[in-house]
Amino acid sequence: LAPQDLAGQHLLVTAGPTREELDPVRYLSNYSSGKMGYAIARAARMRGADVVLVSGPTFLTPPQGVTLIPVVSAEQMRKTVLDALPKATAVVKSAAVADYRPASLSTQKLKKSDEDMTLVLEKNPDILAEVGAGKEGRVLVGFAAETQDLLKHAADKLKRKNLDLIVANDVTQAGAGFDVDTNIVKLLHADGHVEALPQLSKDEVAHQLLDRVVELLKQREAK
């Protein structure tokens, strides 16, 4: 049995991609598989937490004992996260939320013509930034998937979104990022210190991450 060091805690985890609909048969999305977020939800449950998993579309089997709330778009994810937030003592946002959505949703399938076509996109809300702005003592963990200037971008997000910890991964590295079962991450803390973890299974990364969350929750309680 895993240590029950998250007993009594309420973890809100997001996972997977979002899908932004264009018309009844098309959408914009990304390559996120949801594996990292599902691993975190499973590990947190094993360690005694009450877990709500808000997930975009994936092909994964939901972990046992976890409350799964499936969503499709970023807007739906936002509503669901904000509804579940009051109970949460820690929030881990591993979802790859689409930053933009088509500005208009066609109710009918778009027809092709001989012309090129321009797609207008509008900005999606940044869910994590919103959660960070109303943090209220929660432990807040974000993810940063980058293809360049990883640490700089991750440190910037940590600050801007008011996080305690950000998990940075270079998605161009073999054995890291989307769809694979392993990950190579750096953990950036709010006080500026950075830990580089070796290549680990996503389950092991999840447990390492939760070790830090337990530590942060303890610091909160000591205050």
Whole-angstrom Cα distance, residue 206 to residue 15? 13
9 makes contact with ligand C5P (CB under 6 A): no
Tell me the window of 41-49, 142-150, 171-179, 197-205 that interacts with ligand C5P (CB under 6 A): 142-150
- Among residues 138, 143, 168, 210, the one that binds ligand C5P under rule CB under 6 A: 143
- The nearer residue to ligand C5P, 16 or 63, going by C-beta atoms, is 16
Whole-angstrom Cα distance, residue 196 to residue 22? 39
- The nearer residue to ligand C5P, 71 or 97, going by C-beta atoms, is 97
Torsion sign across C-alpha atoms 210, 126, 157, 33: positive
Residue 128 annotated as lining a ligand binding site: yes
Whole-angstrom Cα distance, residue 65 to residue 80? 19
Q: Is 30 a catalytic residue?
A: yes
The three-class DSSP label of residue 133 is helix
Identify residues 94-123 at the interface with ligand C5P (CB under 6 A).
95, 97, 99
Residue 111 annotated as lining a ligand binding site: no
Q: How far is CA 165 from CA 32, 61, 143, 156, in A?
A: 21, 27, 9, 12
Q: Which two three-digit tokens encode residue 114?
A: 């001989």
Identify residues 56-95 at the interface with ligand C5P (CB under 6 A).
74, 93, 95
Q: Rule CB under 6 A: which residues touch ligand C5P? A: 14, 74, 93, 95, 97, 99, 124, 126-128, 142-144, 157
